[in-house]
Structure 1
Amino acid sequence: MTVILGGGITGLSAAYYALENPKLGALTLLEASNRLGGWIRSQRSPNNIIFEKGPRTIRPGTPAGENTLNLIDKLELTDAIIPIKSSHPSAMNRLIYVNKKLHALPNSLGSVFKIKSPFRRPLITALWNDFRAPKLVKEDESIYSFVERRLGKDIADYLISPMICGICAGNSKKISAKFLMESFFEAEQQHGTIVKGMIKKTRSQIEKQKSLPLKSSNNSECKTSAERSVSEKWSVWSLQNGLEELPKKLMDELSSNNRVNIELNKRCDNITFKSDGVELEINGKIKKCSRVISSLPAKTLATLVKHQHPQLANELNEIPMVTVGVINFHFSQNILPMEAFGFLVPPSEQIPILGVIFDSCMFKQGPTTVLTVMMGGDWFEQYFGQNPTKEYLLSVALENLKTILNIKDDPVEVDVSILKDCIPQYIVGHSQRCNRIHDYISSHGIPLTLCGSSYEGVGINDVILSAKNAIDNLSTPRK
C-alpha cells in the first residue's frame, strides 16, 4: 500500500496520477484537517459572491501550464474554463503603488522607450546597464541583488520587489535568483550578460522548433485546452464556480475508485522507515505501508522524520514559510479607478499590504466590485505581531484600501482569513538544498517521495506537475 500525506491540490493530483500505475497498489490519502483542497478555497458569500481565499487564476503557456490544462480536459472540466485573453484590461493593466500614487507599469513595446513614473528613465536603458555591468561568478544570490547589479536599483525596487510580493509574498532581498530567475541568472553565468544569454537561448529554441515536424491544423472544436490557450492568446484562466472546482473534481474521481481510500482528520505525528516498509503514527495508532508520498510542507515533514533522520530534518527545516492575511471585500457598485488586474506595493513603501487584486475586473459578478487585499507575507509579524485578530486585520486593510483607491463607501460584505504558513520561501541556496534533500533520500534508500510547493515551485501548475513527476519517477514499489 502507498500512503499519500496531505489532501491539498498536490496530494489529490498525486493520487489521481497514481491511479494510472497499477503497480502502486492500493492508495490511502491522509488529510489532517476536515476538508480537501488545501489553500485553494472558493467561498460563496451570503449574497452569492465568490470569494477566493487562495489562488484564483492559473497561467497557461509553459510545460507546467500545459500539463494542468491537459488534466482539466481529462477531468472533463473543459466547459467550465473561463479564459482571460491577453487583450483583456486585467492582462494589459498592472499597477504599483509608489509615493502615495498608483502607477501603470509599461504594457507594450513602445512604452519601454518612454519615461513612465515612478521610473526616471525609459526601461529600455536597463539593457545598457546590463551590457556595462561586470559578470560575477556566483553559485546563487538574492533576486534583488542580481537585478540591482545588472539592470538597476529602480528595476529592483519597482518591478522585481513587488512582483516577488505577488508571487510568493516574499522579500526579494532573500529569494533565490538561481531558482526563480534561473534563465536570467544562468545567462549571466554562461554568457556574461542577460541579453547575450537570452538572445542565444532564443536562437537555439528557434532552430529546435524548425527541426520539429509541423502539426496539422485542426478545427477549434478538436483542439485541446492547451492548444486553445495558445491560439486564443490566453493570459490566465479560472473556472466558472471558482478554482476550488478543480480539487473537488479530483476528489470525486478518487472517491469513485475502489483503489483509493481518503481519510480526513488523520494527523500523522511520526514516520519510521524500516527494512520491510514504513510505519506511520496516525492519531496515536500505527499504520503500515510500503511507501510514503509526502505533499506536506517541508517544515511539517521535518517534524515527522527528525527522530530517525535528523540531518534530513535539518535541511527540510531550512525552507521557511510565511503567513498571509487575505481580506475579501464586496462593494455594491463600481469603485475601481480603472480596469486592471490590481496593484502591488513595493516593500520600500513600508505599508502593511502586499497588494490588491481587482477580482471583478477579471470575472464579473454583476454591477458590483469584488476586491481581495493581501497582507503580511515576509513582514507579517513586523506589522501584525504573532496572533492578530481578524478584526484588526480588517481595519488595517479597509483603511489602506479607502486611502489608496479613494473609496467613500463601506463594503456590503467582507471576509477575513489568516493563512498560517501558507507559502514556502525559496531563499538563496534553495536549489542546492533541494539537491541535498533528494540525494539524502536516495543514498539512504528511504521509501519516501516528495512533491508540493516546498521544492520546485509555489504555483498551482508547479505543484500539479511535481505530483505527476513524483509518480512518473517512482520505481517499482516495495512489497
Structure 2
Amino acid sequence: MSKIVLGGGIGGLSAAYYLRKKLPHEQIILIEGSSRTGGWIKSSRQVEGYIFEQGPRTLRLQGPKGENTLKLIDELNLGSLIKPIPSNHPAAINRMIYANGKLYSMPSSFWSIFKKTPPFSKPIVRYLLNDLTAPAKVIPERDESIYSFAERRFGKEIADYAISPLICGICAGDAKRVSVKFLMENLFDSEQRYGNISKGILYEVLFARNRKPKVIETDLFKRAKKEKWSVYSLSDGLETLPMRLEQALRKNNVDIKLNLSCAAVEFYKSKVQIYTSSGDKILTNHLISSLPAHVLGNLLVGHTKLKQLLQSITCVNVCVINLHFKKKVLNTEGFGFLVPPKENIPILGVTFDSCCFPHGEGTVLTVMMGGYWFDKYFGNNPTESDLLQTALNQIQTILGISEKPDTHKINILPNCIPQYVVGHNNKVDLINKYITANHLPLSLCGSSYYGVGINDVIMSAKNVIDNL
C-alpha cells in the first residue's frame, strides 16, 4: 500500500525525499493541487538575466537546521550553484530600519553595542544590562507575546525598534501577538527558570555547551565555515532547490501528481482514504501532510476537535513587488530595511537584491507589504495598480527614488505565512496528542507547526520521516 504526501511545497518535497531514502522500494505518491511544485519559493529569471525572487530569497547556515539544509543541498549536487554572502559583505553588515522619517543601520558588531546608535537613545549594552535588574515575572501560561517579553527584559525601545521589525521581516506578523517561543524560547525559558536571562546564559556556558550535537562536517560545510558565509542563495534562484528535489523524486519513482487537489481526508480503522478533486479515492496506511494547518482542517471528515485546532492556526497575506531599474538608483548599500509597525506605513520592508547579488549596472529591489496589516491598508480586493503605486510612493519617500521601474512583477501571496500567536506551542502539542491518542496514521510537517523558515520546514519533514 502506498504512502501519501499531501502538498508539493518544500515541506512535501522534502518529506517525500526523506521517505524515499527510508523506504527505497515502497510506492510513494505526492499530491499537489497546482501546476508546479515549490510552493511559495518562486524565482523568475528575466530576459536581461537578473532574478525576481517572489518568495524567500536566502538561506541561513547557522544551527542544526541550517546544517541539515546544507547537507540536503550537497546530496542534490547543488553545491556548485551556491551564491554566498560572506559576513564582511555590506549586505551582511548593513541591515537597516526606517523610523522617525530616517533610515538607521542596526548595530552589527560587538563594539557597536557600546555606542549610542539612533533610533536608540542609549547604547544597546545598556538595554542588555537592564535584564540584570528587571524583576522576574513568572508567567502561569508559560507563554507571552515576544513584544511583551522584550519590553519587560530590555525596554520599550528594543521591543519597538529591534524586535517588532524583525518579526515583520520573518513572518509579516505583529510582535504584540506572536509568541515569544517563536524566536526567543530559550531566553524566555532562562528567565522562567533562573529569574533572568543572564543567569540562564551563564549556566549554558558553564554546564550545557557540550550537550550540543556534533555536526558531521561535509566538504560544503567546511567551505561555508572557511568563507564565513552569512546567508546564501543559488545562482539560478532559490527555486532551483525544489526543482532539483522534484527531479530527484521523479528519478526515484515517486509518483508526483500535479493539478490534483485533495477534496477530503477520512480516517477509518488503521487506514486513510483520500478523496481527490478528480473523483478518485486513494487508500493509504499513512498520510504525511505538509498542507497549511487550516487547509488540512477543512479537509477532515469527522474528528471535530482536531479540525478546530488545525483551523485555529491562521496565516497572513503578503504582497511582494519586484522592481528593476536599468540604471543605478540606490545610493545605500546593504541587505535592505524593515519598518517598525509603530511607523504606521503600508510596507513591511524592502530588500536591496542587486546589492546582495549584483547583476550588471541595474538596480533590483523587492518591496514587501501587508502581512498582519494587509486588510487595514489594502482591503479585501486591491488592484495591482494601487499596490504598485503604494510601493513606488514609499521608495520615493524613503529612498528618494523618483524614477519609474523599467520592469516590475506583482505577486499577492494569500495565506502564505502562519502566525505563531501566544499559545501556539501548546496548540501543536494538543494536535499531536490527539493524533496519538486516536491512533491516526497521520504525520504533520510544513510551516504551520515548527517554524516558518525554509530550514525549519525541511527539518520538520526530516523529523517526521525519522519518527515514522
Preserved contact between residue 165 and residue 344 of structure 1 (Cα < 8 Å):
yes
Distance 1:77 1:468 in 2: 19
Aligned to 1:219: none
Residues 60-93 of structure 1 deviation map (CA, whole Å, 9 limit, x = unaligned): 0210000000001100111011111111110000
Secondary structure class of the residue paired with 1:273: strand
**Alignment counterpart, residue 298 of structure 1, candidates 293, 298, 302:** 293
8 Å contact from structure 1 (residues 34, 265) kept in 2: yes
Pairwise CA distance, 1:296: 0.1
1:464 matched to which residue of 2?
Answer: 458
Q: C-alpha offsets along residues 406-430 of structure 1, whole Å, 9 cap, x if unaligned?
A: 0132111010000000000000001
Q: 2:68·2:459 contact (CA, 8 Å) conserved in 1?
A: yes
1:68 counterpart residue number: 69
Is 260-269 or 196-205 further displaced after alignment?
Answer: 196-205
Which amino acid is 1:358 matched to?
F
Distance (Å, rounded) in 2 between the aligned partners of 1:170 and 1:265: 31
What's the counterpart of residue 218 of structure 1?
A: none
Distance in 1, Cα, partners of 2:7 & 2:284 = 16
Name 2:35's counterpart in structure 1.
34
1:180 counterpart (183, 187, 200): 183
TM-score (norm 2): 0.96
User: How far apart, CA to CA, are the structure 2 residues paired with 1:468 and 1:43?
Assistant: 28
Counterpart CA distance in 1 for 2:437 and 2:211 is 36
Code of the residue aligned with 2:173 in structure 1: it is G
Query: What's the offset of the Cα at 1:23?
Result: 7.2
CA–CA distance in 2 between the matches of 1:178 and 1:276?
A: 34
Which residue of 2 is the match for residue 232 of structure 1? 227
Is the CA contact 1:324–1:374 (under 8 Å) kept in the aligned structure 2? yes
1:445 is aligned to: 439
- Structure 1: how far apart are the matches of 2:304 and 2:427? 15
**What is the CA-CA distance between 1:375 and the residue it aligns to?**
0.2
Are residues 356 and 199 of structure 1, via their aligned partners in 2, closer, same or farther at CA, if it must alter by over 3 Å? same
Among 248, 268, 292, the alignment partner of 1:253 is: 248
Alignment pair present for 1:143 and 2:146: yes
Q: Secondary structure at the match of 1:19?
A: helix
Q: CA 1:223 to 1:25, structure 2 compared with 1: closer, same or farther past 3 Å? A: closer
Q: How does 1:413-452 map to 2 (within 5 A)?
A: 413-452=407-446
The Cα of 1:191 is off from its aligned counterpart by 1.1
Counterpart of 1:397 in structure 2 is 391
Residues 65, 165 of structure 1: alpha-carbon distance in 2 compared, 3 angstrom cutoff: same
The one-letter code of the counterpart of 1:129 is N
Contact 2:137 2:192 in 1 (8 A): yes
Question: Judging changes above 3 Å, is the alpha-carbon distance between structure 1 residues 206 and 435 closer, same or farther for their aligned structure 2 residues?
Answer: closer
Decide whether the 8 Å contact of 1:2 with 1:24 is kept in 2: no
- Tell me how far apart the structure 2 counterparts of residues 108 and 276 of structure 1 sit (CA, whole Å): 55
Does 1:114 pair with 2:109? no
Note the residue ranges of structure 2 that are not aligned, 5 or more in a row. none
Aligned partners of 1:5 and 1:31 also within 8 Å: yes
| Structure 2 residue aligned with 1:3 | 4
Structure 2 CA distance, aligned partners of 1:112 and 1:22?
Answer: 51
d(CA) in 1 for partners of 2:341, 2:255:
45
- 1:338-394 per-position Cα deviation (integer Å, ceiling 9, x unaligned): 210000000000000000000011101111110000000000000000111111111
Equivalent in the alignment of 1:359:
353
Separation of aligned partners in 1, 2:333 and 2:404: 20
Q: Is the Cα–Cα contact under 8 Å of residues 61 and 230 in structure 1 kept in the other structure? A: no
Check the 8 A contact 2:322/2:365 in 1, yes or no.
yes
Q: 1:20 aligns to what SS in structure 2? A: helix
Change beyond 3 A, Cα 1:278–1:23: farther
Amino acid across the alignment from 2:203: K
Runs of 4+ in 1 over 3 A off after TM superposition: 205-209
The answer to whether residue 260 in structure 2 is matched with residue 266 in structure 1 is yes
Within a 5 Å distance, the mapping from 1:192-203 to structure 2 comes to: 192-203=195-206
Post-superposition shift, 1:22?
2.0
- Residues 199-208 or 345-354, more deviating: 199-208
Aligned pairs (5 A) from 1:330-345: 330-345=324-339
Q: CA deviation at 1:224?
A: 2.2
Greater mean deviation of Cα atoms: 226-235 or 313-322:
226-235
CA distance in structure 2 between the aligned counterparts of 1:335 and 1:147, rounded to whole angstroms: 37
Deviation at residue 24 of structure 1 after TM alignment: 7.6
**Post-superposition CA distance 1:74-133 (Å, at most 9, x none):** 001110111111111100001100011101111112211111111111111112321111
In 2, Cα distance between the equivalents of 1:92 and 1:250?
A: 32
Q: Which amino acid aligns with 2:143?
A: D
The SS at the match of 2:337 is strand
Cα RMSD (Å): 1.6
Identity percentage of aligned residues: 51
Cα shift at 1:52: 0.1
Contact 2:59–2:455 (CA under 8 A) maintained in structure 1: yes
Q: SS at the partner of 1:279?
A: strand
Q: Which residue of 2 aligns with 1:477?
A: none
The Cα shift of 1:286 comes to 1.6
Distance apart, 1:208 and its partner CA: 4.9
Q: Note closer, same or farther for the CA distance 1:301–1:207 as it changes in structure 2 (3 Å cut).
A: closer
